[in-house]
């Protein structure tokens, strides 16, 4: 239950709705508690009166009973409706707030967090787990309040009639409480297992849908289906174990309620011989016992809701209590001037322990184009990752305009940067909205889109689509080729008119002719911005002002294209090898 204390702030936020819900519950149960008393009084009136030969009197009493009972039922139902409209609506508002809070928190977390946690698990906590918590704040809370109010009013009326009979009738209830206590701990453990397997199931499904082309290409649909079936079977087994424990409540509680009714009839009947109570009061007790049946039957269900909610809230709290390691500590305005400096920067990935960079040092000035080249795994992309401060460096310093990167306004710096990642991601939206993703839409005209897509050499492809810029892309841009996705991603970054442009091997899927056109267009505006290009293709970076050659996380060569060829080192080797491959491919 400690995990559910997190929800207290929401109950406080909606205290007026919750308070009115409690008030309506009390009023509804007040009318409900009066109904058995009224029936009992009328039964005594019938028994004590002589209506056998008086049809009018009998008809009048029957009419009274019907009219007043219907009136009390309508009043009870009306306030029951108001109770649901306040408490259940409150639970939906809490659900809305929680999902927004979790989603907002997700967006604050650093890249390391998302590498450690599966997408399916993240989705499950914001959907399935929040739904379980909603059941606690809505139905669970409503039935709990209803039970307390009804129990208090019914027991009060029963004690006023006969404390002795009340005691006998309530004998089964402590047994019921002990049973609930014993079973609830078991339900909590089973609920945690169910939610864990649900996350695994979501992860498998998400990865399957995202990688369906690879699965079909390798003809692994059968194996994937078997993997999903195994996880689904385990989820079913965990759920069935929970259902079995939960199902134990209903017959047990019904038996105990039946036992209460039996005690009422037997003990009450004996007490009538001594004139301790009247027959009408036995009827009243039977009505009270029946009224208490559903609230006490709901104890098992509410307990299940609470245990599931506690397990789910615990999982939600695990993420909400996770503090991002990367946070913006400076809100001052920043105007990036284009100077970047790495001083003996070393970095080890925290999750894998792999050292990606070792004592890397270089400097860039405004208008410069820095190129980083090297084999796969040499640390090229890590330089850009650290520059965008998606991770914090292990050792050394990174300076932006002479100021340590940890002390700058990170949000402002990123807003003035444009990055084209190696792994292109496009949203399931129109081409226009994908292009305008990083800018304010009202500041962009169709002419701007045309000019920027021409610069990225993708406009002629967009013109071929029937809907042109309004063409809706499939998930991750599935209806585009790899080169088209890369060029739209480049256009998206250029549309921001960034002062810092980062290109992370983003021309790997285009031919050399298209690559040359794009680079030429980008270089026309290079004097107004700082550009860093990462590539394994020498043709992409040969016109850069400065070229860094990396291997095993270290800079082993630096210079211009011409000076590096004269050194006859790794750069010259890569260049000659790629030149030979291009020559061979044209023959």
Q: Give percent of the chain with pLDDT exceeding 90.
A: 1
- How high is the pLDDT of residue 461? 83
pLDDT tens digits, residue range 517-570?
887 887 777 677 888 888 877 777 777 888 888 888 888 888 888 888 888 888
Residue 579 has pLDDT above 80, yes or no: no
* CA distances in angstroms from 357 to 112, 360, 380, 407, listed in the order given: 17, 7, 9, 22
Residues with Cβ within 8 Å of residue 143, at least 6 apart in sequence:
295, 298, 301, 302
* CB-CB contact of 488 with 426 (8 Å): yes
Task: Kindly state the average pLDDT of the residues 45-58.
Answer: 60
pLDDT tens digits, residue range 305-335?
787 788 888 888 888 888 877 777 777 888 8
User: Which residue intervals of 325-394 are DSSP H helices?
Assistant: 380-387
Residue 476 φ/ψ region, left for φ over 0, alpha for ψ in the -120 to 50 degree band, beta for the rest: left
> pTM value?
0.70
- How high is the pLDDT of residue 144? 83
Residue 132 has pLDDT above 70, yes or no: yes
Q: Which residue, among 548, 161, 152, has the nearest Cα to 357 in the 3D structure?
A: 548
Residue 124 has pLDDT above 60, yes or no: yes
Full 3-state SS string of 45-96:
HHHHCCCCCCHHHHHHHHHHHHHHHHHHHHHHHHHHHHHHHHHHHHHHHHHH
Residue 249 has pLDDT above 70, yes or no: no
Residues with Cβ within 8 Å of residue 325, at least 6 apart in sequence:
110, 112, 392
pLDDT tens digits, residue range 30-40?
887 777 777 77
Q: What are phi and psi of 342, to 5 degrees?
A: -105, 130
Residues with Cβ within 8 Å of residue 280, at least 6 apart in sequence:
39, 40, 41, 42, 43, 44, 45, 47
* β pairing state of 395-400 and 340-348: antiparallel
Domains, the chain:
89-320 (1.20.1560.10), 329-416+532-553 (3.40.50.300)
Query: In the structure encoding, which two tokens stand for residue 97, read together?
Result: 């707030």
- How high is the pLDDT of residue 54? 56
- How high is the pLDDT of residue 296? 66
Residues with Cβ within 8 Å of residue 511, at least 6 apart in sequence:
483
Residue 56 has pLDDT above 70, yes or no: no
Q: How many residues does the chain have?
A: 587
- How high is the pLDDT of residue 227? 82
Count CA atoms within 13 Å of residue 120 on its CB side: 16
Task: Kindly state the average pLDDT of the residues 476-492.
Answer: 78
Q: Hunting for tokens 């004097």 — which residue is that?
A: 527
Task: Kindly state the average pLDDT of the residues 54-62.
Answer: 64
- How high is the pLDDT of residue 338? 81
Whole-angstrom distance, CA of residue 158 vs CA of residue 264: 11
Q: Which residue, among 363, 350, 424, 334, has the nearest Cα to 390 in the 3D structure?
A: 350
Full 3-state SS string of 112-130:
HHHHHCCHHHHHHHHCHHH
Residue 350 has pLDDT above 60, yes or no: yes
Better-predicted residue by pLDDT, 310 or 41: 310
- Average pLDDT of the chain is 79
């Amino acid at each position: 239950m400690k995990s559910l204390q997190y929800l207290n702030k929401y109950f406080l936020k909606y205290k007026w709705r919750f308070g009115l819900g409690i008030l309506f519950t009390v009023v509804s149960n007040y009318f409900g508690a009066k109904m058995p008393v009224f029936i009992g009084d009328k039964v005594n009136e019938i028994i004590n009166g002589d209506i056998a030969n008086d049809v009018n009197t009998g008809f009048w009493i029957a009419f009274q009973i019907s009219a007043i009972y219907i009136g009390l039922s309508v009043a009870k139902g009306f306030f029951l409706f108001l109770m649901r409209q306040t408490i259940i609506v409150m639970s939906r508002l809490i659900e809305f707030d929680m999902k927004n809070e979790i989603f907002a928190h997700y967006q604050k977390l650093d890249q390391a967090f998302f590498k450690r946690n599966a997408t399916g698990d993240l989705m499950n906590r914001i959907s399935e787990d929040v739904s379980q918590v909603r059941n606690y704040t809505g139905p669970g809370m409503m039935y709990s309040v209803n039970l307390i109010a009804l129990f208090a009013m019914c027991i009060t009326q029963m004690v006023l009639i006969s404390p002795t009979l009340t005691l006998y009738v309530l004998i089964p209830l402590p047994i019921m409480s002990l049973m609930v206590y014993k079973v609830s701990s078991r339900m909590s453990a089973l609920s945690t297992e169910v939610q864990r397997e649900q996350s695994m199931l979501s992860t498998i499904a998400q990865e399957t849908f995202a990688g369906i082309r690879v699965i079909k290409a390798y003809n692994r649909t059968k194996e994937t289906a078997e993997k999903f079936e195994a996880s689904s079977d385990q989820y079913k087994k965990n759920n069935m174990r929970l259902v079995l424990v939960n199902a134990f409540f209903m017959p047990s509680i019904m038996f105990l309620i039946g036992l209460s009714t039996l005690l009422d009839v037997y003990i009450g009947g004996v007490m009538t011989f001594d004139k301790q109570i009247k027959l009408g009061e036995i009827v009243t007790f039977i009505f009270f016992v029946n009224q208490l049946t559903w609230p006490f039957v709901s104890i098992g269900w509410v307990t299940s809701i609470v245990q599931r909610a506690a397990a789910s809230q615990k999982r939600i709290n695990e993420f909400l209590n996770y503090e991002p390691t990367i946070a913006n500590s400076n809100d001052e305005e920043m105007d990036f001037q284009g100077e970047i400096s790495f001083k003996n920067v070393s970095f080890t990935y925290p999750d894998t322990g792999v050292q990606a960079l070792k004592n890397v040092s270089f400097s860039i000035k405004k208008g410069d184009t820095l190129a980083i080249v090297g084999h796969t795994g040499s640390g090229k992309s890590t330089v850009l990752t650290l520059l965008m401060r998606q991770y914090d460096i292990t050792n050394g310093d990174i300076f932006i305009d002479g100021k340590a990167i940890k002390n700058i306004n990170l949000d402002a710096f990123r807003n003035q940067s444009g990055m084209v990642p190696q792994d292109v991601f496009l949203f399931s939206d129109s081409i226009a909205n994908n292009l305008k993703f990083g800018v304010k839409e009202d500041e962009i005209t169709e002419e701007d889109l045309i000019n920027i897509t021409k610069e990225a050499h993708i406009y002629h492809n967009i013109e071929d689509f029937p809907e042109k810029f309004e063409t809706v892309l499939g998930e991750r841009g599935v209806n585009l080729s790899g080169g088209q996705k890369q060029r739209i991603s480049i256009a998206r970054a250029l549309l921001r008119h960034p002062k810092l442009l980062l290109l992370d091997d983003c021309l790997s899927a285009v031919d050399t002719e298209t690559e040359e056109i794009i680079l030429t267009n980008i270089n026309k505006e290079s004097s107004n911005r700082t550009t860093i290009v990462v590539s394994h293709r020498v043709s992409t970076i040969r016109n850069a002002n400065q070229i860094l050659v990396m291997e095993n996380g270290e800079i082993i060569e630096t210079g211009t294209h011409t000076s590096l060829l004269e050194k006859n080192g790794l750069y010259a080797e890569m260049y000659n090898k790629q030149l030979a491959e291009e020559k061979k491919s044209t023959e």
